[in-house]
Amino acid sequence: MTAPTLSVIIPVYNEEQTLPLLFARLYPALDALKLPYEILFINDGGTDKSAALLREQFERRPEVTRVIFFSGNFGQHMAIIAGFEYCRGNRVVTLDADLQNPPEEIGKLLGAMERGHDYVGSVRQQRRDTAFRRLASRAMNWMRERITRIRMTDQGCMLRAYDRRIVDAITRSSEVNTFIPALAYTYASSPTEIEVAHEERAAGVSKYSLYSLLRLNFDLVTGFSIVPLQVFSLLGMFVAVVSVLVYIGVIIQRWIIAGSVAEGLYALWDRDILQFFLTGLVLFGLGLVGEYVGRIYQQVRGRPRYLIQAVLESGQAAGVTSAESSSVSPTPHSSLLTPHPK
Ligand code: UDP
Ligand code: MG
């Protein structure tokens, strides 16, 4: 099989409702580009019929379709990393399965690459999400811009194109917790952004709960900056200096201006509230240190970032001999089921 020019990587997690719609639009859109391409679906665990649908689609278009089945849910970003490790194209596009990013826009991204950019991000025109999601995103964008050097107008939009060089750099980065668009941005020498259309989710619901979004944003912040930790040491210093000054003031009042301490400066503040505030601050700082330490712990354990159960690809792929992932479940298509060589 000759190496395709374009690889399209799509993470799939319980998307049985959107997959048929995606297939119906994605394949014609890519055929229209008139260049050799491959589509890599990564089934990120999940419990619905997605896996069966992906198998069917593979049978329909085996020459351009490859499917990686994870043995559990490892998350969207790990799915994309796996796609990066397996893809063969010189240019790689990531896309969500839910049709929020129209596949017809892929040509636009490639156009920007033709103009010499090695990483093309995208900005959603008229974002179709709930007001709360938009507000939360805006707040996160603001925070990220302040504490990391990463400038992305729209961090949440996954329709992006990467040059092979960037993809290789990303697969060489063995980060357990990562945020791919930000990583790509730090490696790119000539990044750019273009506007793309945004649609409502074609069907089903978002696979991100508020909690998992919060976790993802912690990954983004802790993975690309230690400013939050530094803020706490500065804040600690500030609070210490202020309390020394206050104490000096109290002593001066007590000794020089005489009078009762309880009526003096010391009683001006409601000490209990101040205590609560400082305790909260300390706990938050401690928790933040915990976020970093937890990630260091995950990283040093060095467990595999994802586990592949099976890979579906047409038998022409060379050298499929090693049986690294042995748990290939018997299926009607087992002749096409090849554990991928690493
Ligand atoms: N996804 C995934 N693993 C997960 C969560 C999501 O592979 O644990 C995929 C999902 O199937 C979709 C993409 O990541 O293709 C983006 O998810 P979603 O549309 O739910 O996120 P949102 O658009 O709400 O940010
Ligand atoms: Mg979505």
What's the pLDDT tens digit per position in 65-116?
999 999 999 999 999 999 999 999 999 999 999 998 899 999 999 999 999 9
In the predicted model, residues of the chain with pLDDT beneath 50 are: 317-342
Q: What is the pLDDT of residue 304?
A: 92
Q: What single letter denotes the amino acid at residue 267?
A: A
* Domain count of the fold of the chain: 2
Span from the CA of 112 to the centroid of ligand 1 (angstroms): 25
Residue 230 CA, ligand 1 centroid: distance in Å: 33
Indicate if 21 and 115 belong to the same structural domain: yes
Between the CA of 5 and the centroid of ligand 2 the distance, in Å, is 26
Tokens 């409601």 found at: 270
Q: Are residues 35 and 167 in the same domain?
A: yes
Task: Give the N- to C-terminal CA distance of the chain in Å, as an integer.
Answer: 17
**Does residue 35 share a domain with residue 86?**
yes
State the Rg of the chain over Cα: 26
Q: What is the pLDDT of residue 332?
A: 34
Helix (H, G, I), strand (E, B) or coil at 337: strand
Q: What is the number of alpha carbons within 13 Å of residue 278 lying toward its C-beta?
A: 12
Is residue 242 assigned to a domain? yes
Q: Which atom of ligand 1 is nearest to the CA of 97?
A: 15
Output the pLDDT for position 265.
55
Asked whether residue 236 falls in the same domain as residue 196, the answer is no
Give the distance (Å) from ligand 2 centre to CA of residue 210. Answer: 14
Residues 254 and 164 in one domain: no
Is there a single domain that holds both residue 56 and residue 170? yes
- For residue 338, being part of any structural domain is answered with no
Cβ neighbours of residue 152 closer than 8 Å, sequence gap 6 or more: 121, 141, 144, 181, 182, 185, 193
What H or E segment, with its residue span, contains residue 25?
helix 19-31
Instruction: Please work out whether the CB of residue 192 comes within 6 Å of at least one atom of ligand 1.
Output: no
Which residue range(s) make up the domain with 282?
227-300
Strands of the chain (E only): list them: 6-12, 37-43, 65-70, 91-94, 119-124, 160-163, 191-196, 308-312
Confirm whether 203 is domain-assigned. yes
Whether the CA torsion 26, 27, 30, 31 is positive or negative: it is negative
Task: In whole angstroms, give the CA distance from residue 224 to residue 177.
Answer: 11
Shortest-distance ligand to the CA of residue 158? 1
Is the minimum distance from the CB of 79 to ligand 1 under 6 angstroms? yes
Which DSSP helix (H) or strand (E) runs through 293? helix 271-301
Predicted local confidence at residue 260, as pLDDT: 55
From its phi and psi, is residue 240 left (phi > 0), alpha (psi between -120 and 50) or beta?
A: alpha
Question: Strand 37-43 vs strand 119-124: parallel, antiparallel, or unpaired?
Answer: unpaired
Q: Looking at the chain, how many residues does it have? A: 342
Structural domain includes residue 334:
no
Token pair recorded at residue 159: 């329709």
Q: Does ligand 1 lie within 6 Å of residue 97's CB atom?
A: yes
Residue 339 is assigned to a structural domain of this protein: no
| Same domain, yes or no: 86 and 70 | yes
- Quick one: pLDDT at residue 263? 56
Atom 14 of ligand 1, residue of closest alpha carbon: 76
Pocket test for ligand 1, best of 207, 209, 213 (most atoms within 8 A of CB): 207
pLDDT in tens, 142-178: 888 887 877 777 777 889 999 999 999 999 998 888 8
Q: Is the CB of 9 under 6 A from ligand 1?
A: no
Residue 31 maps to a domain: yes
Shortest-distance atom of ligand 1 to CA 73: 8
Instruction: Clarify whether residues 48 and 111 are in a common domain.
Output: yes
Q: Are residues 319 and 263 in the same domain?
A: no
Give the separation between CA 187 and CA 149, rounded to whole angstroms: 12
CATH number at residue 175: 3.90.550.10
266 in the same domain as 130:
no
- Specify whether 128 is located in the same domain as 89: yes
Is the separation of the CB atoms in 69 and 310 below 8 Å? Answer: yes
State the distance from the centre of ligand 2 to the C-alpha of 202, rounded, in angstroms: 9
For residues 174 and 92, membership in a common domain is answered with yes
- In-domain check, residue 213: no
CA of 214 to the centre of ligand 2 (A): 16
Write the CB contacts of 2 (distance below 8 Å, at least 6 apart in sequence).
36
Residue 158 vs residues 71, 306, 311: alpha-carbon distances, Å: 23, 20, 23
* pLDDT computed for residue 188 by the predictor: 93
- Compute the distance between CA of residue 143 and CA of residue 259 in angstroms, rounded to an integer: 47
